[in-house]
Amino acid sequence: MQEQNQYIPGVCNIGRSEIKMRRFAGWVGLVITIILYGSLVYLGVPRIWRLIIFIPSALAAIGFLQARMHFCANFGMRGIFNFGEIGNTDTVDQAEFRAADRRKAMQIIAYSVIAGIAAAVIAYILPWN
């Protein structure tokens, strides 16, 4: 995907600094997922507790997806965008643009939930312990 540097409804609502922040959040979520899974296995915690992997893995997925799609789900749901410094946002004025942004935000959230569920199920069924 070519990097955008302007707001495009339902396609791109964040610039470089916001993308970088979301990619970092994805990596943090992934590291937490791996450490949590390893800790649960190492400590011999009952297998059902592995399902908690859903939380950090869904957070990792949402970070990576937002970075890849150049679209912040939170901004999309709130009707704002940012191509400047972190913390400076502009408002999306047109209702049809806000609707397109909400659809894209819901898509990202749904994909992240699916990824979190998949990671939790895989963690649960792996044979260790």
> Per-residue pLDDT tens for 11-47?
999 999 999 999 999 999 999 999 999 999 999 999 9
Question: Which of these, 115, 119, 125, lies nearest to 53 by C-alpha position?
Answer: 119
What's the pLDDT at 1?
A: 46
Mean pLDDT of the chain: 94
pTM above 0.75, yes or no: yes
Q: How far apart are CA 30 and CA 100, in angstroms?
A: 29
Closest to 36 (Cα-Cα) out of 20, 6, 57, 17: 57
Phi, psi angle pair for 119, to nearest 5°:
-65, -40
The helix (run of H) or strand (run of E) holding residue 91 is strand 90-91
Asked whether the predicted pLDDT for residue 73 surpasses 80, the reply is yes
3-state secondary structure of 43: coil
pLDDT exceeding 90 applies to what percent of the chain?
A: 89
pLDDT at 3: 56
- Reduced to 3 states (helix: H, G, I; strand: E, B; else coil), residue 129 is coil
Residue 92 has pLDDT above 70, yes or no: yes
Residue 4 has pLDDT above 70, yes or no: no
pLDDT tens readout for residues 95-107 = 999 999 999 999 9
